[in-house]
Structure 1
Amino acid sequence: MNRRSRDNAAGQTIRRHWRRSACVALLVSWCAVVAASQPADSTPDLDAFARKAMQTFDTPGMAVTVVEGDTIATHTYGVRKLDNAALVDPHTIFPIGSNTKAFTTAALAILVDQGKLRWDDRVGDKLPGFRMYDAYASSEMTVTDLLVHRSGLGLGEGDLMMFPTSDRSRAQLVHDIRYLKPAHSFRGGYDYDNVLYIVAGELVEAVSGQSWEDFVQQHILDPLQMHDTKTSIDATPPDKVSLHAKNTTAVRGVGPQAVLKTVMTGKVFAPAGALQVSAADMGPWLRLQLDSGKLDKNTRIFSEKAAQMLWTPQTLIPISAAPKPLALAQPQFEAYALGFEVQDYRGHKIITHLGGVLGGVSAVVVIPEKHAAFAIMLNSEDVGTLFAMREHLLDTLLGLPSPDWIASYKQVFDEVNAGAVAALKTPAKSVHPERGPSLPLASYLGTYRDPWYGTATLGRNEKGALTISFDRSPGMHGTLEHVQYDTFRTHWSMPDVEDAYVTFALAPDGSIDQMTMKPVSPIADFSWDYQDLRFTPVRASK
């Protein structure tokens, strides 16, 4: 699907990128137009720039890894948790969200090198029982198709099967993908998804006999001596960051920074976005990318042929006009490869990806012509800091004049957030709470089922108010407030969850025919894919 039509241009660009995670996922590279340019900054200036960006966007902590040739440098800033003195250091671990996807594609590349898999193998032949909604896609989807966002699924479709948590196993999620109705034809275009990377993780296990976690640990993390890295999002070593967001107002991203009470948990989404990595560990991973899979002169993690495949463009990503302040470095081409994007930045080819989970974002950039790469990890959702740092580092490593990215990104994000705040201040005359609901509240009670998500239960609390529970998402329950007609809105008890409008459609006989939802916030992350749900009442058997 293409839901970007409901957003303004800046919001489209930003949100398409920012949570490629779990999705947040993921995030076109835009740059700022400014009147004056200045020479690229030296390393000491990187620290000054980082501190200014963090102060501007109120970012608690950040880690940066820069690889140039054989040199690996780490830079760490700020604190692991607000109101706590513990500083970020090179071994502090951050969740990297969808930058995990490159580890999953590397795992598949290793299996291809071992002769256990081919990129054009049909998924159904290797993973019995795999099915998509469409019979043709089910029979023809290849390993490559799983990884390049051309399946026909809409943007983030199905993320609520695992986001922010789920009681599903990966095998159950793979089974339930068959109920996701495609937004367009198989191989018909680009729309970012997370669920098919879960299938890729199950494919690793089916072919290798090892879980995704064990395979990645044995074949990638251990050889690279990435000893800090955790394959589970639930791992809680002492040197782990806390996660933060500006979520105390109606629009996420506006207001003071706070430690999140609700974060992503569980094993199900691991192959799409669960790795936690330190700045120290990012160095060997980035160098492996620059060296085309070579660990040392005698050892390879994956072959040069596999490395080339991982960076080969597969699916064109449409390029829409950037907001005016971010037009200087608008890409002329952009495509998705295998766990990476390939694009140009001010005339230079780069390999990149962004990632995010609730409360944290990251960026990875490889510059092949300079044999350089870097990673940025934040313990907050401050993509203004992330993007400004990314562009500043690109300019530095490429020797380009570097404009004031901080001011430009602040301008754009301020405008996006102000627009969202204004959109939520709907004039009172356009809402008619006195109209409806059509039925007594008791008539809305019961169990509702969506084909891919599962069930939601509507009940009443001790005060008589309607309640709603997402039954496959532990803890995700709350009350329903009447808005107008047959539309209500959620007030989730689970903190940090985006609220949604809930609308009931009636059948000709006056019974409830369907329950649909949509996010309240106009800039809600795409992983809150309420709009893909089509709940129908579960009728009592006679």
Structure 2
Amino acid sequence: MLRRLVPTALAMAAMLVVANASFAAQPADLDAQVQTAMQSHGVPGMAIAIVEDGKVVLAKGYGVRKLGSPERVDADTIFPTGSTGKAITTAAIAVLVDDGKLKWDDKIIDHMPWFRMYDPWVTNEMTVRDLLTHRSGLGLGAGDLMFVPSSSRSRADTVRALRYIKPATSFRSGYAYDNLLYAVAGQLIEEVSGQTWEVFVRERVLKPAGMTSSVTEQSARFANPNRAWPHARLGGRVRGLGEQRVLDERKTLGDNAAPAGGLSSSANDMAHWMLVQLGHGTWTDANGKQVKVFSEAQSQQMWTPAVLTPTPAYPGKLAPFSPKFSSYALGWSVRDYRGAKLIDHGGAVFGVQTYVVLIPERNIGITVQINAEDFQVMRAIAMELVDHYLDAPDTDWMAAFDEFANTRMQGGVAALDASAKEQGAAPGKASLPIADYAGRYKDAWYGPIDIRNEKGGLRIDFTRTPGMVGRLEHAHHDTFRAIWDDPNIEPAYVTFGLGADGKIDRVTMKAISPIADFSFDYQDLQFAPVRAD
């Protein structure tokens, strides 16, 4: 694919606009706030983009791309954008709707006859809109282990596995966030357009939007020297505690899940994206030309709520963040804040996070990206900016989000302690000799895993997830702990179930940490032994 490793004339023009802007500028102390927050929380790098009234107010980088390296983050440094890219996939479908090749309420099987859900009735009723709104009946994060932290599967193979995932609720009865159906949306784009999601998005969304440094392929991200590296705290009792460390950037997300969260983009490009969104599909380039990416009619569809989402009453200092209404539209969340409507979405892949928020009535857009998992820094900076542009009362958002994050971590550690105490009271012996637990097992949607007896110890290998291998340590009775060689992968309990004949007839799993990321959906797996013919 063609890549631009230096600023284009368009990007340079945008930077000149920023340098000479005299309209409603960002807070005078923004740089100092960002530097203080990053230093106090150990965040290596950050990028911020702000747009207002069709103009770029700010596109700027802070800190370093990688701990231990001197290269600085700038406005063209690309970060994985995680689930904020769901809006890009939605925009690609909007382009196909404008082209007359799709309708939002078309049934998927009319375009992909081989598509199947677990329930045949749902298969026949599932629409394009359903793919994008988290109301399918799938459980939270269902199927994510097919592409987290990486995968050897093709996208089509991933979609075919969907038919084996049992629903958690009835169809369209409620909201449960998923990534898998956005992978289906990516496959749908290929079936309808004849181009892969990667190519179609690049040619029909990114290029028209002036997003010249954004990439859809992981390989293109790795080839760009101006990229942010992922970082996380993995040395503590739960993820989020311990020293910041650099992660393996090639083990953060499988290519098969790119339509759900595989886009990488820069502050300059995210500014362009927000201009397109606030312009209802159209933006003005550096030459004053109006460029349409998708129609205003499709823009309205994207921002129209389709399903209600929870309205949590956040505790303590975070209470002002609590919404009175909250919903999900097409690739965007829609909620209220201090009487204003916010169109927003967060995104994360391991070690990198992004948050995008639009305030349509003020024609404001804000993006904050960090190459770490300290979400409280990203969200606090974003909310400080939102308050600035809403002329809201001062709130110490850093203190509020710190309190929330600390409570979450402490709760996770306390739950681990309680679990360890319970297990220690009656550890129990394994029912079988260690060698008898070894074998090949298969789950209907994930596929096979291997458990091997090596030198008197058990090793587990998730064969379709490169690098997802580790040792099994006995915990109690027929439950073992999977401790992965890669510390980026959440440890899990592995429980062997015995049949009436005393032999293993099933294997189930669950995350050890009570605050593990929902994409480690171990609880949805049920492996059965693969018998030798």
**TM-score, scaled to structure 2:** 0.92
The change in CA–CA distance for 1:431 and 1:261 in structure 2 (over 3 A counts) is same
Q: Conserved in 2, the CA contact under 8 Å of 1:41 and 1:396?
A: no
Q: Conserved in 1, the CA contact under 8 Å of 2:96 and 2:102?
A: yes
Q: 2:371 maps to what in 1?
A: 379
Structure 1 segment 469-480 matched on structure 2, within 5 A = 469-480=461-472
* CA shift for structure 1 position 433: 7.0
Q: 2:333 maps to what in 1?
A: 341
Measure the CA separation in 1 of the matches of 2:128 and 2:303. 15
Matched, 1:356 2:344: no
Q: Conserved in 2, the CA contact under 8 Å of 1:293 and 1:302?
A: yes
* CA shift for structure 1 position 325: 2.2
Structure 1 window deviating more from structure 2 (69-78 vs 192-201): it is 69-78
Q: Conserved in 2, the CA contact under 8 Å of 1:312 and 1:338?
A: yes
Q: Conserved in 1, the CA contact under 8 Å of 2:316 and 2:400?
A: no
Structure 1 segment 12-27 matched on structure 2, within 5 A = none
Q: Conserved in 2, the CA contact under 8 Å of 1:431 and 1:483?
A: no
Q: 2:530 maps to what in 1?
A: 538
Measure the CA separation in 1 of the matches of 2:485 and 2:263. 28
Structure 1 window deviating more from structure 2 (267-276 vs 256-265): it is 256-265
Q: Given the alignment, which residue of 274, 283, 288 partners 1:286?
A: 274
Q: Conserved in 2, the CA contact under 8 Å of 1:78 and 1:87?
A: yes
* CA shift for structure 1 position 495: 3.2
Q: Counterpart amino acid of 1:191?
A: A
Matched, 1:67 2:51: yes
Q: 2:228 maps to what in 1?
A: 241
Measure the CA separation in 2 of the matches of 1:265 and 1:529. 15
Q: Given the alignment, which residue of 261, 283, 292 partners 2:248?
A: 261
Q: 2:504 maps to what in 1?
A: 512
Structure 1 segment 88-103 matched on structure 2, within 5 A = 88-103=73-88
Q: Conserved in 1, the CA contact under 8 Å of 2:314 and 2:321?
A: no
Q: Conserved in 2, the CA contact under 8 Å of 1:432 and 1:485?
A: no
Q: Given the alignment, which residue of 428, 431, 444 partners 1:435?
A: 428
Measure the CA separation in 2 of the matches of 1:441 and 1:479. 13
Aligned-CA RMSD value:
1.5
Measure the CA separation in 2 of the matches of 1:472 and 1:430. 32
Q: Given the alignment, which residue of 451, 459, 463 partners 1:458?
A: 451
Matched, 1:497 2:485: no
* CA shift for structure 1 position 62: 0.3
Q: 2:29 maps to what in 1?
A: 45
Measure the CA separation in 2 of the matches of 1:116 and 1:328. 44
- Provide the secondary structure at the position in 2 that maps to 1:250: coil
- Provide the secondary structure at the position in 1 that maps to 2:139: coil
Report percent identity of matched pairs: 49
Q: Conserved in 1, the CA contact under 8 Å of 2:84 and 2:261?
A: yes
Measure the CA separation in 2 of the matches of 1:328 and 1:223. 38
Q: Conserved in 2, the CA contact under 8 Å of 1:57 and 1:384?
A: no
Q: Conserved in 1, the CA contact under 8 Å of 2:317 and 2:399?
A: no
Structure 1 segment 193-342 matched on structure 2, within 5 A = 193-234=178-219, 235-236=221-222, 237-261=224-248, 263-296=251-284, 298-342=290-334
- Over residues 170-191 of structure 1, what are the superposed CA-to-partner deviations in whole Å (9 max), with x where a residue is unaligned? 0000100000000010101000
* CA shift for structure 1 position 431: 2.0
* CA shift for structure 1 position 42: 5.3
The change in CA–CA distance for 1:299 and 1:88 in structure 2 (over 3 A counts) is closer
Q: Counterpart amino acid of 1:451?
A: A
Q: Conserved in 2, the CA contact under 8 Å of 1:341 and 1:353?
A: yes
Q: Conserved in 2, the CA contact under 8 Å of 1:154 and 1:183?
A: yes
Measure the CA separation in 1 of the matches of 2:427 and 2:168. 36
* CA shift for structure 1 position 331: 0.5
Q: Which runs of 5+ in 2 are unaligned?
A: 1-23
Measure the CA separation in 2 of the matches of 1:466 and 1:191. 35
- Provide the secondary structure at the position in 2 that maps to 1:306: helix
- Provide the secondary structure at the position in 1 that maps to 2:449: strand
Measure the CA separation in 2 of the matches of 1:131 and 1:125. 12
Measure the CA separation in 1 of the matches of 2:427 and 2:100. 67
Measure the CA separation in 1 of the matches of 2:66 and 2:290. 42
Q: 2:7 maps to what in 1?
A: none
Aligned residue pairs: how many? Answer: 501
- Provide the secondary structure at the position in 2 that maps to 1:515: strand
* CA shift for structure 1 position 432: 5.3
* CA shift for structure 1 position 225: 2.3
Measure the CA separation in 1 of the matches of 2:290 and 2:372. 40
Q: Counterpart amino acid of 1:239?
A: N
Q: Which runs of 5+ in 1 are unaligned?
A: 1-39
